Structure 1
Amino acid sequence: MALGKRKRRDQVGLSNPFADTSADENAADLHAHFRHHFEAKFKPLEGISLSIKGIETEVPESVDLESDWEGLTDTEDNGGPQIIHHQLSEAAETEVPNKELRAFMSTKPPSSRPALTPKTKNIEQSDADEMASDAANLKKDLALQRLLKESHLLESQSALSVSGRNRHKAVDMRLQDLGSKTSLYAQPKMPLSHRRGIIAKSTEKEDARRREAQENGIILEKATKAKKGSEARRQRAIGAPTVGRFQGGMLKLSKRDVADIQGPKKSVKRKR
């Protein structure tokens, strides 16, 4: 687009037909200053095209305004607004995991417990495997101990013997291991001669079994010796005397009680 010759402007409407040079220079300096400040703080922007209004020189009034002029082209700015085009590459959208998105959108407060890392998961898994192996080994040890203790029950097994008898004996042994005070086969009331005979017979069988096992190289369980029952402390009523026996409204003291009360006698040597 080309225009004809420039016409004389009305001097009444405009006092100065051209823009003020000092104002344009100040605007350009300010723009350059802001641009340097921005580039110093941030990275310079790529692909920025600026269209700055050209600076017009001051023409004296003596110059003929009707001089030949070819006019304006489409590329020149006709005093319009300053346009700045910013061409920025679109940032790639990062995908947020569904777990974090649900935690962000939920109304519950976030937990202070840190998330388990693969390293801690591996450690916990190894600990669980060790506990499982320890439990399996303990179970096998218990089964082996029971086999050693109950192996003698299978030696006297015959076709005519009752299968439940050995099972009852095995249950009795397991109860004694767990802390049972008496055996299922213990008979509290019987003649003393019978009791002594039963104890002697069982002791003889146990000694023979251990002797044969030692000769054949068989490992048996450790022999547990019967503990002698300590003398039970006599139970006394509330308010009863702690020394002697109260019988028939009378306190009876034995010689031992009197000796305990008096204490050891001290021998005094007389000087001659």
Structure 2
Amino acid sequence: MSYTNILSETQNGLTTITINRPKKLNALNKETIQELHDAFKAANTNPDTKVIVLTGSGDKAFVAGADIAEFADFDEYHGEQLAAKGQDILFNFVENLSTPVIAAINGFALGGGLELAMACHFRIASDNAKMGLPEVSLGVIPGYGGTQRLPQLVGKGRAMEMVMTAGMISAQDALTYGLVNHVTSAEELMPLAEKIAGKIMRNSSVAIKGAIRAINANFKDGVHGYDVEIEEFGNCFGTEDFKEGTSAFLEKRKAQFPGK
């Protein structure tokens, strides 16, 4: 599949999706959001993909935000529809993928860019990265899940401060806050992502799918996370991966998971 604003490459079980609008600091417009949806959907259904890494092209930005020119003249109805559609086809979609998604933040991750990174299963960052939700400085609030995912990751107080001040934090502060898992140099960012992906690939993709669903359930209203965990735990016992994993353990050998 060919894209205008993104690149997607699969190699050795890893699909790397790169937002490729460097002259616009990889800002998210409607076309890019749709292309990202299509690329994530394709990767998630590709049996050769075990892990997805999302990053931005160039050395300045992961995603510097949404393309403001596209919605500057919207009214209330169209603003609400913009947020609803974006959350549905991209942000919530990514969060609920069964394939692990790592955000490799290689520069500015602002507004919709940080919201996209937060929708990924976890995040790593280069030491020159800057993150923030500046929407209130434009007279609007984060609309792609930022008011929900940021408090889950950094706590209510820090989230309130970040949103209200519209300021940016450094990669090191993001690490301290728990917003990212690792910080490294720009040169080592993708190698680190590949190293972590390699560790993930050694494990059962079927079990990981169940773990993603169970962890996400803890953050959903009206869903009892413990019940989902029990259900997914039980499901594992009917899989070939469980038979292989337990047999390999008892036989003191490395498991070769079939992913079934």
TM-score by length of 2: 0.20
More helix by share: 2
Q: Name the larger-Rg structure.
A: 1
Provide TM-score, normalisation by structure 1. Answer: 0.19
Which protein has the bigger strand share?
2
